[in-house]
Structure 1
């Protein structure tokens, strides 16, 4: 990825999907200056339900191939259960 255009398109699709499914909210991104790495932030009362809703959209994006999704089951603190799911390559 050499510009943020594909990311902005993905964000738009994620926002629509999350709103349509009523499964949470999309809260933005954090991207390295050289565009080599980053994070997309989404929140929901149920991490698995949210991930199931957005997974097809994530997998359609070429630059997300092989990305890792971290599902957290509670607030961002020590000892909270988390699982990682690798997207299709």
Structure 2
């Protein structure tokens, strides 16, 4: 029996960057606001892909907010790549959650 095959497969927990932006209205924001978020999400995906630090996984709209999610092995490095794009968005208030592993290990950054 080869002992290497008996070891449990473990991988580092995936980390996440969640960007949250306040939109106008109580629901999904205006069409133009959603278009800005979609463009930013595409720009983030390109930047993250070129840097090889993870991937942008999508967005969520509702309750007058928009959220964009990105995942990778290091939330801090991932945030450094997408930070210029996020700071360029016109929506305020805005903040980012960097989650390192467990949900209780997270940091908030105001944009």
TM-score by length of 2: 0.67
Partner of 1:85: 109
Q: Tell me how far apart the structure 2 counterparts of residues 70 and 49 of structure 1 sit (CA, whole Å).
A: 13
Structure with greater contact order relative to length (CA < 8 Å, sep ≥ 6): 2
Gaps of 5+ in 1: none
SS at match of 2:101: coil
Partner of 1:23: 53
- How many positions carry a matched residue from both structures? 81
Q: 1:50 aligns with which of 71, 78, 83?
A: 78
After TM superposition, give the deviation of residue 66 of structure 1 in Å: 3.7
Q: Tell me how far apart the structure 1 counterparts of residues 102 and 58 of structure 2 sit (CA, whole Å).
A: 17
> Which runs of at least 4 in structure 1 moved beyond 2 Å after TM superposition?
none
Larger Rg: 2
Gaps of 5+ in 2: 1-28
Partner of 1:2: 30
SS at match of 2:44: helix
**How is 1:32-51 mapped onto 2 (pairs within 5 angstroms)?**
32=62, 36-51=64-79
